[in-house]
Amino acid sequence: MQVKRILNILLFCCCFFAKGQQRNTPWKWNEFVIGADMSYVNELEDAGGVYKMNGRKEDPFTIIKSIGVNTVRVRLWHTPAWKKQLNSNGKMYSDLFDVEKTIRRAKQAGMAVNLDLHYSDTWADPAHQSTPAAWASLSFEALKDSVYQYTFSVLEYFKARNLVPEMIQIGNETNSGMLWPIGKTEDAAGWQRYAALVNSGMKAVKDFSATTTIKPQIILHVAQLQHVDFWLENLIKNGVVDFDIIGLSHYYPWSNYTTMKSIGSKIDSLQTAYHKKVMIMETAFPFTNANADTHTNILTLNNQLENRYEATENGQAAYIADLFKTVKQNKGSGVMYWEPAWISSPMKDLWGTGSAWENAAWFDFNGNLLKGIRFFKK
């Protein structure tokens, strides 16, 4: 396939630049995952973003490691050419080379990595799962093969640089399938095709794992706890069984689970029902309802939660601490916070300039690490 040939060429051309390689060691799976999605950091720094701890400029990966984070999550888009149009530097971000930089920074700081494959050129979520332009005209059978070849080749690329991820997601928030329209779960046939695409990706991971010391744990990812059972039951019914972790997004504005007790009960019941590890892959909470720029913020604190949590630095810290404690006490395997470093900067996205998340970051509007976040380090 063309995808495999391109990645093999990239692999050959870049092997001479794989200096300072990291020593990969197997992840200790008895360790609770304290994770942070750092996908935007390279782009933010290129746009002038600065991170500080105790008033001093520091590497953001060093900062999060110092407060107890042990895992970095990073998204990979297939060919995000649209990024070049947004950035004056003409760079693509969240492509293979940008993700390589993020993984290297994470491993140099001593953290594990969760590689989040979107199988898209852009954002993949419950409402959007567009097929990469390079695959748009493929048949179902050819698309399955492309998923396999792409997944395997990406892992081989990182293996050649001693950057094998400890975890890998086969899709992002795939509530209604992935690689639309072929993999969209509009009917029984759609579920069958989506399941076959997932199995192609998982087989690539399993085949790759036979060749390496680090054997990435496979994560399947759905948004919001109220959707997980229907989604899992249909996947399992269609032959998707050989994965390791049920990955969940949990955002309070869109969740039916509004108390820690209900969240904990659901985490526990999922493990009992499906005999898989359970991990929250995305979550967040605001430390303020204010804005640092003109970009509209996504998260504001309304009335979706118990009254004990306020949009303050202490409220954010309390919510995160309670969520981590709840997941751990109910035998969950970890929690990852989404984009805690998405501070305000001149960076542009599809919707504006600045950040839609700076009020939910772990850094204040001046780039200083919030004091309340430091509870991670016990």
Cβ neighbours of 309 (radius 10 Å): 22
Query: Which position has the token pair 């947004």?
Result: 86
3-state secondary structure of 180: strand
Q: Are 178 and 128 in contact (CB under 8 A)?
A: no
Active-site residue list:
173, 282
Within 10 angstroms of residue 188's Cβ, the number of other Cβ atoms is: 10
d(CA 71, CA 111): 5
**What are the start-end ranges of the E strands in the chain?**
33-37, 52-53, 56-57, 71-76, 112-117, 167-170, 217-223, 245-249, 277-282, 334-337, 348-349, 352-353
Beta bridge partners of 248: 222, 280
As a three-state string, the secondary structure of 32-56 is CEEEEECCCHHHHHHCCCCCEECCE
**Residue 287 · residue 312 · CB < 8 Å:** yes
Neighbour count for residue 126 (Cβ, 10 Å): 17
**Position of tokens 């970009």?**
295
Three-class DSSP category at 333: coil
